[in-house]
Amino acid sequence: MALPTTIELQIVTPDKLVLKENVDEVEIPGSQGYFGVLPGHTPLLAGLAVGELWYRKGQEKTYVSIAFGFAEVLPDRVTVLARLAERADDIDIERAEAARARAEKRLSGAQQSAVDYERARTALLKSLARLNVSSRIGVGPRTGGMKRLRNQS
Ligand code: ATP
């Protein structure tokens, strides 16, 4: 059987279908780290972390902020069932800036329970993913900012 040449990418949240497109490549923020998918990939099921998913059509890359859920990878299809997913156009930058400032303030507080710390850390990661994605409209390759942050934790 011939190998597929494209991937049907579908991203859904509990609220809506965020995206359904035929693409050439996808990179996914998996719970064990970022991983890339090309047509013909081995089937797998992966948990999602907080970060930036991108997909490429030809030379053009598009970024989507993602948080939690699962990705099912098949040779010709990737289905992302995310708790949260926002395309760049849908991101409210001021809201994300405010969330980042709030999270940074909480993380710098001296008295933190482990639960509060983890909540603030997740809020910070979500806000950074949103800010990164919104800053990528019309810009070039990724800088790896989220990867660096994730690797420090
Ligand atoms: P905030 O603290 O800024 O209110 P939150 O962490 O409470 O955000 P989430 O639980 O991450 O919010 O998301 C709740 C809903 O709001 C989701 O539908 C998510 O897509 C949307 N959302 C959150 N922040 C933004 C943003 N900056 N721009 C657009 N949509 C957002």
Q: Does residue 123 lie within any of the structural domains?
A: yes
Closest CA to 150 of 49, 37, 46: 49
Ligand 1 centroid, distance to 92 Cα (angstroms): 9
Residue 139: the pLDDT is 46
Name the helix (H) or strand (E) containing 152.
Answer: helix 145-152
Ligand 1 centroid, distance to 79 Cα (angstroms): 22
Q: Does residue 153 lie within any of the structural domains?
A: no
Q: Does residue 150 lie within any of the structural domains?
A: no
> How large is the angle between the packed helices 145-152 and 114-135, nearest 10 degrees?
170
pTM: 0.87
Q: Are residues 82 and 110 in the same domain?
A: no
Burial 75-101 (b: 16+ CB within 10 A, else e): bebbbbbbebbbbbeebeeeebeebbe
Q: Which atom of ligand 1 is nearest to the CA of 126?
A: 11
Q: Are residues 63 and 125 in the same domain?
A: no
Q: Are residues 128 and 69 in the same domain?
A: no
The answer to whether the CB of 99 is under 6 A from ligand 1 is yes
pLDDT digits (tens, 9 = 90+) for 93-106: 999 999 999 999 99
pLDDT digits (tens, 9 = 90+) for 45-93: 999 999 999 999 999 999 999 999 999 999 999 999 999 999 999 999 9
Closest CA to 129 of 106, 108, 145: 145
Q: What is the CATH number of the domain that holds 109?
A: 1.20.5.440
Q: Which domain holds residue 104?
A: 92-143
Ligand 1 centroid, distance to 127 Cα (angstroms): 9
Distance between CA 36 and CA 73 in Å, rounded?
10
Q: What is the CATH number of the domain that holds 50?
A: 2.60.15.10
Q: Does residue 98 lie within any of the structural domains?
A: yes
For the chain, the average pLDDT equals 89
Total structural domains within the chain: 2
The answer to whether the CB of 130 is under 6 A from ligand 1 is yes
Distance between CA 128 and CA 82 in Å, rounded?
17
- Reply yes or no on whether the pLDDT at 146 is more than 60: no
Q: Are residues 55 and 41 in the same domain?
A: yes
Q: Are residues 65 and 135 in the same domain?
A: no
Residue ending a domain, choose from 89, 106, 133: 89
The answer to whether the CB of 126 is under 6 A from ligand 1 is yes
The answer to whether the CB of 86 is under 6 A from ligand 1 is yes
Q: Which atom of ligand 1 is nearest to the CA of 86?
A: 20
Q: Does residue 1 lie within any of the structural domains?
A: no
> Mutate which of 11, 64, 84 to test ligand 1's pocket (most atoms within 8 Å of Cβ)?
84
Q: Are residues 17 and 74 in the same domain?
A: yes
